[in-house]
Chain A
């Protein structure tokens, strides 16, 4: 793994979370390509990853995956959810995460790089009205554990950073979701800004110092939920 200056990072996602993380990483010296498209096929993901690697000068040191399909961001009454929405939103989001792990693998092997998934803590704690988002979060988090274990011999690390749900759902819904999983106020008084609070942790995971940290979940929500 590399020093932070000029580190080559791919961030996926089309949200303020993704933009914030990208901005924060840039401030720490990284070169960042933001993949904000919604991918239909695994080939789309492969092509995008290759193009990103080229744009970054021929290699990728870290991939940070935050992308979810837009329907996961709104509260849904699960009993009224259509099959099509479930497939297009929940299953497809998991599918893209799966493809991303597979397609990031070759490039990250070259650099003994880092794959990071950002998920909301409701995957571990449950979230009424956000069952699809929680299913995705937990599926991705445990996928990351499998990848971390599998890739150990190659030097590629794979970790999850679990953060407050407001980064996906907005403040009002996020506050309600959080209130239902803890009666405590955040230890730090707030639940985190993507650029200032989350990006540095993501950067840490690609530092040489973190080469022995893999298949882990870091909860970074300002000390709100302590269930892990």
Chain B
């Protein structure tokens, strides 16, 4: 029996791969021997990531891409298939963030930015890989929600709207694409290290809020992108999860236990 968690040689696209959770996922998948396609908005970050992957000996394709670029997503999928011959997985992780803003101050531009990069960007990525996955009779798509989305974190209106919309699209895609052998699931992480104050002494109030957040959850720490969040994503990309689709998996140390 082959190892059902094995991702060696799998061709996996990770969007928004150059920082935060996307970077953690990329590193973990590289450890697992996947062949990676990494996208990011900024060329410098992308180059740094590509250099790192070169250093690891990870076969990869790096593409500067904004998730709002639907044509770009299609072109990328064509190039990926041409280079690797297959597309096994997509981690639709890229998402613009908006710092804390009360709902009554949210502008149309704020909403457009979050919805364009989040649910729409996710959908364009999903559409781009579907034809190949359908032909293969197998595909794995992992979308990214958020613990904050489920909770409705105050101050994060457009972000929450984006993340919950992504969960909705995940379910519809699961229903429509299941017959093709494509599973679509959503991971809702909490991993805020890259947003916490780098030096707690510089911003003690905000540092205290971050610390308080984790005290009351069963696994009382922030999620490490490589060791805590990424393995859950890897599970959903593997054969081990072949009978799960349309699901939302919390990757948040038990902070939220959905009914």
CA distance A180 to B218 in the complex (A): 9
Residues 171-208 of chain B, each 1 if its beta carbon lies under 8 Å from chain A, else 0: 00000000000000000000000000000000000000
Q: Interface segment, B25-33, B117-125, B146-154?
A: B146-154
Residues 129-161 of chain B, each 1 if its beta carbon lies under 8 Å from chain A, else 0: 000000000000000000000111010000000
Q: Interface segment, B60-68, B96-104, B238-246, B251-259?
A: B251-259
* Shortest CB distance B218–A (Å): 8
Residues of A within 8 A of B151 (CB): 182, 226-227
A124 lies within 8 A of chain B by Cβ: yes
Q: Are A124 and B259 in contact (CB under 8 A)?
A: yes
A16 lies within 8 A of chain B by Cβ: no
B107 lies within 8 A of chain A by Cβ: no
CA distance A126 to B259 in the complex (A): 10
* Shortest CB distance A17–B (Å): 22
Residues of A within 8 A of B212 (CB): 183
- Whether A126 contacts B257 in the complex (CB less than 8 A), given A184-B154, A226-B151, comes out as yes
Option from B152, B216, B257 in Cβ contact (under 8 Å) with A226: B152
Q: Are A227 and B216 in contact (CB under 8 A)?
A: no
Q: Are A227 and B213 in contact (CB under 8 A)?
A: no
Query: Closest residue of chain B to A126, judged by CB?
Result: B257
Residues of B within 8 A of A226 (CB): 151-152
- Whether A125 contacts B257 in the complex (CB less than 8 A), given A183-B212, A183-B213, comes out as yes
- Whether A227 contacts B259 in the complex (CB less than 8 A), given A179-B216, A183-B216, comes out as yes
CA distance A182 to B147 in the complex (A): 12
* Shortest CB distance A124–B (Å): 4
* Shortest CB distance B32–A (Å): 32
CA distance A183 to B151 in the complex (A): 10
Residues of A within 8 A of B259 (CB): 124, 217, 227-228
Residues of B within 8 A of A184 (CB): 154
Q: Are A227 and B154 in contact (CB under 8 A)?
A: no
CA distance A31 to B152 in the complex (A): 41
Q: Which A residues, 80 to 130, have Cβ-Cβ distances below 8 Å to chain B?
A: 124-126
CA distance A7 to B154 in the complex (A): 41
CA distance A125 to B258 in the complex (A): 7
Residues 174-205 of chain A, each 1 if its beta carbon lies under 8 Å from chain B, else 0: 00000110111000000000000000000000
Query: Closest residue of chain B to A124, judged by CB?
Result: B259
* Shortest CB distance A175–B (Å): 12
CA distance A182 to B216 in the complex (A): 9
Residues of A within 8 A of B256 (CB): 227
CA distance A29 to B152 in the complex (A): 38
Q: Are A180 and B216 in contact (CB under 8 A)?
A: yes
Query: Closest residue of chain A to B213, judged by CB?
Result: A183
Residues of A within 8 A of B217 (CB): 180
Q: Which A residues, 20 to 78, have Cβ-Cβ distances below 8 Å to chain B?
A: none
* Shortest CB distance A3–B (Å): 34
* Shortest CB distance A113–B (Å): 26
* Shortest CB distance A168–B (Å): 19
Query: Closest residue of chain B to A217, judged by CB?
Result: B259
Residues of B within 8 A of A228 (CB): 259
CA distance A183 to B257 in the complex (A): 14
Q: Can you give 11 A-B contacts (C-beta < 8 A)?
A: A124-B257, A126-B257, A183-B212, A183-B216, A184-B154, A226-B151, A226-B152, A227-B150, A227-B151, A227-B259, A228-B259
Partner-B contacts on A (CB < 8 A):
124-126, 179-180, 182-184, 217, 226-228
Sample of 9 more A-B contacts, CB < 8 Å, known A180-B216, A183-B212:
A124-B259, A125-B257, A183-B216, A226-B152, A227-B150, A227-B256, A227-B257, A227-B258, A228-B259
Pairs A-B, 3 closest by C-beta atoms: A124-B259, A180-B216, A126-B257
